């Protein structure tokens, strides 16, 4: 079983001005990359690691045989977008295309602030897949899925990418989570995509948000990873396998003790 691990990279010396920030400040710095890489090398066995940098002013100390590619601009966050795709989405599209042109069976995305735990965690997840896509289950947030750690079978990449590109709306209009769910749907060609555009009116956006996500969940054809947690809390660090992002200082300290 061969797989490529893809990820993204953004780091800046300037203060992050987004309204909501999750996790300790350390996860947004270059030093955290070492913990990310250590978890990858300890618990997984990828053919290649491919990181797409969004023209960051600060790059990590690269270890091992990481393929590190820099774009010439930062696409930004879906809430402060530059172009059609956010920096995160660009890292997925680019690294997934790389995997499609490699000798592998699966593409695996592990976001830059995610820590994995458990020997053979990716193999464990693949063993439980009955569909070509496996995403995180979202319990604490109103999204159809989580995208910080996910797996796609290589034979499904072409169709998945083609459908993502066919969605005319940018990442601020239709969230990447909804785009992913729709791209897995056998009804993709028949679903009017404008129905999933976020309203600019705050009241209407809140009113339709849950409904849009529910419909995306019903339309999608994907597995949920057989492990927690991503952004969900609490984390049971006694589990044989788990992953998490947005780590607090206490969560990070606890993880490093058991790892």
- Cβ atoms of 70 and 84 closer than 8 Å: no
- E strands, the chain, are 3-9, 48-53, 66-70, 76-77, 80-81, 106-110, 115-117, 133-136, 146-153, 223-224, 229-230, 242-244
Q: State the pLDDT at residue 15.
A: 63
CA-to-CA distance for 35 and 162, rounded, in angstroms?
A: 34
Q: Is the pLDDT of residue 136 over 80?
A: yes
- In this structure, what token pair is assigned to residue 35? 């913990």
**Tens-digit pLDDT profile for residues 175-202:** 999 999 999 999 999 999 999 999 989 8
Q: Is the pLDDT of residue 231 over 80?
A: yes
CA-to-CA distance for 116 and 42, rounded, in angstroms?
A: 9
Is the link from the previous residue into 229 a cis peptide, with omega within 30 of 0? yes
CATH number of residue 174's parent domain: 3.90.550.10
Range of the domain at 72: 3-10+18-258
Q: What percent of the chain is predicted at pLDDT more than 70?
A: 97
Q: State the pLDDT at residue 63.
A: 78
Q: State the pLDDT at residue 18.
A: 47
Q: How many residues does the chain have?
A: 259
**Tens-digit pLDDT profile for residues 140-156:** 777 999 999 999 999 99
**Tens-digit pLDDT profile for residues 45-92:** 999 999 999 999 999 999 778 999 999 999 999 888 999 999 999 999
Q: Is the pLDDT of residue 100 over 60?
A: yes
Indicate the SS3 state at residue 158: helix
- Banded model confidence at residue 163, pLDDT cuts 50, 70, 90: very high
**Tens-digit pLDDT profile for residues 198-224:** 998 988 888 899 999 999 999 999 999
**Tens-digit pLDDT profile for residues 101-130:** 999 999 999 999 999 999 999 999 999 999
pLDDT top residue among 259 and 109: 109
Q: Residue 96 burial by CB count (10 A; 0-12/13-18/19+): exposed, middle or buried? A: buried
Averaged confidence pLDDT in the chain:
94
Contacts of 94 (CB under 8 A, 6+ apart): 6, 52, 69, 71
Indicate the SS3 state at residue 36: helix
pLDDT top residue among 19 and 254: 254
Contacts of 25 (CB under 8 A, 6+ apart): none
| pTM over the 0.85 mark | yes
CA-to-CA distance for 114 and 168, rounded, in angstroms?
A: 29
Q: Is the pLDDT of residue 241 over 90?
A: yes
With tokens 């028949």, the residue in question is 190
Average of per-residue pLDDT across 229-257: 96
- What's the total number of domains in the chain? 1
Q: State the pLDDT at residue 119.
A: 98
Q: State the pLDDT at residue 16.
A: 60
């Amino acid at each position: 079983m061969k797989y490529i691990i893809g990820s993204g990279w953004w780091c800046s010396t300037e203060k992050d001005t987004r309204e909501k920030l999750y996790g300790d400040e350390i996860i947004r710095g270059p030093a955290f990359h070492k913990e990310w890489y250590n978890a990858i090398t300890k618990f997984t066995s990828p053919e290649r690691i491919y990181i797409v940098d969004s023209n960051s002013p600060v790059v990590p100390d690269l270890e091992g045989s990481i393929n590190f590619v820099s774009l010439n601009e930062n696409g930004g966050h879906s809430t402060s977008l530059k172009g059609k795709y956010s920096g995160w989405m660009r890292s997925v599209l680019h690294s997934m295309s790389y995997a499609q042109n490699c000798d592998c069976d699966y593409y695996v995305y592990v976001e830059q602030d995610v820590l994995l735990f458990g020997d053979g965690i990716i193999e464990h997840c693949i063993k439980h897949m009955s569909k070509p896509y496996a995403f995180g289950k979202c319990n604490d947030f109103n999204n159809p899925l989580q995208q910080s750690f996910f797996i796609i079978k290589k034979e499904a990449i072409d169709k998945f990418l083609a459908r993502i590109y066919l969605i005319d709306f940018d990442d601020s209009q239709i969230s990447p989570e909804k785009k992913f769910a729709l791209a897995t749907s056998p009804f993709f060609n028949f679903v009017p995509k404008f129905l999933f555009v976020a309203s600019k009116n705050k009241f209407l956006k809140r009113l339709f948000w849950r409904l849009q996500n529910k419909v995306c969940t019903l339309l999608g054809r994907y597995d949920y990873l057989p492990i927690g947690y991503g952004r969900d809390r609490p984390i049971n660090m006694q589990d044989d396998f788990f992953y998490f992002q947005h780590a607090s200082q206490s969560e990070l300290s606890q993880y490093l003790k058991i790892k």
